[in-house]
Each structure stands twice: as structure tokens, then as C-alpha cells.
Amino acid sequence: MDLLASPLRRRILVRALACVAIALLGVAAASAQDFFFPGPDFTPGNLVVSRSVYAGNADTVQLGEVLPPGCGAGLCSPSTGAIADGTYPYVFNNDTYDGSFGITSPIFLDEMTPWGFVVRSLEVPNSLERGIAPESDQLVTSFSSKSELALNLSADAKYLTFIDYVAPVNAIDASNANTPGAVDPTNPVGENFYRAVATVDEHGHFTFTETNAYSGNNGRAAILNNTDGADAFYTAGNAGNGSNPQPDGVILGAGAQIITPSDVPEYLQNPGAPTPAASFSVTELGDKADKVGKDDNFRGMTVYNNVLYFTKGSGSNGVNTVYFVDTTGTACPKGVGLPVAGAKLPTAALTYDLSTLQADGLPSNMCVLAGFPSTSNKSVNPVNFPFGLWFANPTTLYVADEGDGTATYDATTNTYTDAAGQTLAGLEKWVFNSSTQTWNLAYTLQKGLDLGVPYTVRDYPTGDNSVTGLPWAPATDGLRNIVGAFGDGFLIPRDRVAIYAISSTVSGGGDTGADPNKLFVIVDDVNNTSAMAAANERFYELRAARSREVLRGVSFTPGTKGLTSY
């Protein structure tokens, strides 16, 4: 896992490490945007950041328009109608009327040097591009859906993977629409869109694999396992936007999925029923069962030492914590445990009994990682909100905590007080104790994030949002997706790791998922377990989204060897 394992990477990253080293001395790291350079391929050792840009205008949504689109009788409130037109960012005030509100937007994959320069931007095919017909391969994201567009390298590091919607740009509420093969008639969003896993290789070539999973909600992350004869995507997400009882396809399409890649165009694909790879129920912990499928509201995902890990950090059901898939059936008889040495990754869909699916849900084959929280969200008010995760080694795990999203604002101090007072939001460092056989939280890194402090965005509204009564200006609330790598022993010691992280926000906007957010970097001593020793470590801002932009995922480029969690 050496970031500079080859002379090529060493040359590429010398300037990056120099900038980080300067930053560690208290000088801001270099940061610039739109410094584009020619070249057909991704450069190994660089970063890729997934970004989206709002493409709508005032006509995208009409004042008084019934939302969600196509909603059935009794499933919406047509007497109210949209309270804002499609003008950004005011359009997202419609979230206060339509809980499913969102607008699809183009996806961009920005290649960046590790010190913050944008090298090139690759646009994912979408309906606004010349030559893209309705039957053409295409993929979009939902602009305000903050949990989407995680980026992951494949097992052989040759591909980037992510998951989103097969829909045109400016489609309304696609993020809560049904999938065509798992329609829920109680879902107020009366539209159907496939979700699809995308891969992009080092030459910028895309392929797409459609799925009926995540009906009524969103897929969030995907990883391609393509080594040792395997050929499967693992995906994470959530499903359901209707009432009980949920259709079988919604239950089957939640949480952790295993999907066989397709090599044909989207218009020729005909995906069948969702294929779950794993599931968890709080009944494993001795608790009363939740709503079927909602314990599997997964967000982050990684693979390390042939074990598949997930995080859950939202929703009122289940447990906000870190999980792993137990393919042996022996790791956690009471719902909490550690991976069994030599266990294999999932290779097939979970076996289930369709006759008991509605009553009992899927069988459980997942565990809470020992030492992480194991108390149901229904029993306690959650204080942790895990998102992305990255293993530095077998005994060191970094977990991004998104923060609780509570927008309590003090005008006297110009601070979002709840965000500023959080103790777990940011980057948590967990260390394995071999004596107790549990993971323990060593410390949480926050310095430099300026939690709860509003920041200005050019061409973004100032003052207060009249709908929420709070400032438009966003503030960092925590972190979402992360990726890390070790130093080279040249400018940064080999026992230090550089971790790149996408921020979450709080604000007075109608939907904080539409807030322009940031990309940060921090360097940590991987062997340190003392919060006092880590007190001087700080985050540095590498990039800030502009007005109409959001940043979502971060990874290394396809072709960057030795950096995946496999």
C-alpha cells in the first residue's frame, strides 16, 4: 500500500508531498481549479473526485406544480403545489413540501493531483450531451442526494465503479422513484427508473449494468470484484419509499447487493429481480424486529483482506455502526464479532425463503464489528453517523462520521452550535486491541474542518432563507467518503497516511444535500493512538465546490496499484 511504489508515481507525487509537507508547517496547501492538461488517459497516483452540477433553470419546476410527479390518488397534496420554481438553490425549498424532492444532474469525474490541481474532467454520458439519444448509454445523479456517487477502485485497480440512475437530466424525484421491476404502488413518486453500476477504465471508457435494486431509494457505492475468477459488483444502498407491506422486490433490493456485470448496451439489458448479497436484523442482537429491510440502510462500503464491510449512519431503524459480511456463518452468533480467518468474499446471492420474506425479511449473515456501537437506534438517540471507511492495516481503521445534520444556529456567534459541539463528527481512528479482541476509538480528527462555522460561496445567496429562517451559508458538519494512502518515506514517512475526505454540511438551505461542500486532506501517524499526540494534526482544504456544484466521492485513478483495500 505504498503510494510511491514506482519511480513514475514518485515523480508524480513529489510536488504533492511537498505541498502537504508545507501545509504541515502551517502554510496552506496549493489549491486551484480548471488547470486542464491534454492526455487521453488517467495518470496513476492521481485522485478522482465525483462532482455534479445543477443543470436546471426556472422552467424546470413550475410554481404550484404537483409534486412528486405522477403521484397517485391520496399519495400527495395537490392543494399545495411546488413553493419554488427551478431556480437554484431556491428550488430545493420544495423539499419542505415534497419529502422525495430532487432533480437529476450530470456527473463529472475530475482527475486531480494529490495537491489539488484539476487535471481533466470526464463527463459521464447524459441526455444533455450531443449525440446522446434516449436509447444511448447514460447515467445521472440526483443533485441533492448527498449519499450518492461514492467512488471505488476494482479489485485489480483497473476500474472505477459507482452507481446511480438511468434517467434524463432534470428528471424530478428520480432518487425516490421505483425501479421498473420492483414497483411499489404506495410510493408517491409515480415514475420508474433503473439504477445502474458504472465502470470507467484508465482510458475513460464507460460500461453500465442496470439493476432493479434500490427501488424507492438510492444506490450509494459499488465495488467490482474481478480477481481470482470472480466477476461481480458489490453495492450498498437503501430501498423503499412507500408503506407496509413492501413488495418483495423492494425488500430484496435493499442494502447489500451482488450484481453480475453486463457487457451489452443499456437498451438491450433486461435485469431481473434484485440479488441481495447480505442482510442484517437487530433481532441478531436480541432486539425486537424493525420494519423489514430498513436495518439494511447502508452507506459506505469497502473490502479488506477478503472481507466485505458496510456502514450504516442514517434512518430510525437498525444500528448506526460498522458491519461485515460473515460468509462462514460462525463469526457472530449474537450479532457482534470479528471476521473468521480465511473467510471468502460472497460469490452468490443470499439464499432466502420467498414464503417468509414479508414476515421475516432476509436471513441475517452480517455482524457488527466488535467494539463498534451495537445498540439499536430505537433504544438510543444516535450520536455517531458513520459513512466512508478505509483500512490502513489490519489494526487501524479510519471511519468518516457525517455528523447529525442538526441546523441549530446562534446569530450572536454566527455558528451552527450543534455541529460545532459534536465530538465524533469528522475522521474517527479505530485501533484493534488483540487482548480484548475488540476495536477501540483512539481519537477523532476535527481540527481544520471548522465544524459549524459558515463559509461564503461566490454567487450563492447571502442572508437568511425565508423558508427556513436560517442563513443560506453552509458550514461543515462532518465527513462522508474517504480514501487514504501511505507516505513514501521521502517527504512523508512511511508510517504516515494522507487521507482525503469529502465534507457534509449544515445550512439554512431547503436541502443541505444541495450545499456546495469541500474536499479536505489530513496526514496522520498511523502508529499513534493518543489524542494528545494527534492534537496538532489538521485538515487542509484542497477544493471547494462552487455555486451549483456538489462534490460526492473520492478515489485514486484507475491503474493506481497497491492502494485498494483488497
The closest alpha carbon to 58, from 80, 88, 94, belongs to: 88
Q: Would you call 258 helix, strand, or coil by DSSP?
A: strand
Average pLDDT, the chain: 91
Does residue 314 sit within a domain?
yes
Grid cell digits, residue 160: 472505477
Residue-range definition of the domain harbouring residue 238: 7-556
The closest alpha carbon to 404, from 415, 391, 414, 417, belongs to: 417
Grid cell digits, residue 381: 438517540
Instruction: Count the domains in the chain.
Output: 1
Does residue 253 sit within a domain?
yes
d(CA 240, CA 295): 12
CA 506 to chain CA mean position, Å: 17
Does residue 56 sit within a domain?
yes
Assess whether pLDDT exceeds 90 at residue 70.
no
CA 32 to chain CA mean position, Å: 24
CA dist 4 to 8, 14, 147, 274, 484, Å? 8, 9, 31, 40, 13
Assess whether pLDDT exceeds 90 at residue 323.
yes
CA 43 to chain CA mean position, Å: 24
Assess whether pLDDT exceeds 60 at residue 56.
yes
Does residue 140 sit within a domain?
yes
Q: Taking a C-beta distance cutoff of 8 angstroms, is the pair 189, 173 a contact?
A: yes
For range 522-535, the mean pLDDT: 95
Choice between 290 and 53, residue whose per-residue pLDDT is larger: 53
Does residue 566 sit within a domain?
no
CA dist 496 to 13, 30, 47, 434, Å? 15, 20, 18, 22
Burial 7-41 (b: 16+ CB within 10 A, else e): eebeebbeebbbbbbbbbeeeebbbeeeeeeeeee
Assess whether pLDDT exceeds 60 at residue 44.
yes
Grid cell digits, residue 276: 441481495
CA 197 to chain CA mean position, Å: 14
Does residue 249 sit within a domain?
yes
What is the pLDDT, as a whole number, of residue 79?
65
Burial 538-559 (b: 16+ CB within 10 A, else e): bbbbbbbbeebbbbbbbbbbbb
CA angle 249, 149, 169 (to 5 degrees): 80
Does residue 215 sit within a domain?
yes
Assess whether pLDDT exceeds 70 at residue 73.
no
What is the pLDDT, as a whole number, of residue 157?
95
Residue written as cell 481544520?
448
Grid cell digits, residue 547: 455555486
Assess whether pLDDT exceeds 70 at residue 437.
yes
Beta strands in 331-456 (DSSP E): 336-337, 366-369, 386-393, 396-401, 409-410, 415-416, 426-433, 438-445
What is the pLDDT, as a whole number, of residue 78?
63
Assess whether pLDDT exceeds 60 at residue 199.
yes
What is the pLDDT, as a whole number, of residue 39?
61
For range 424-451, the mean pLDDT: 98
pLDDT in tens, 328-374: 999 999 999 999 999 999 999 999 999 999 999 999 999 999 999 99
Residue type, 475: A
Strand order in the sheet with 47-53: 118-123, 107-112, 47-53, 549-556
Assess whether pLDDT exceeds 50 at residue 194.
yes
Does residue 188 sit within a domain?
yes
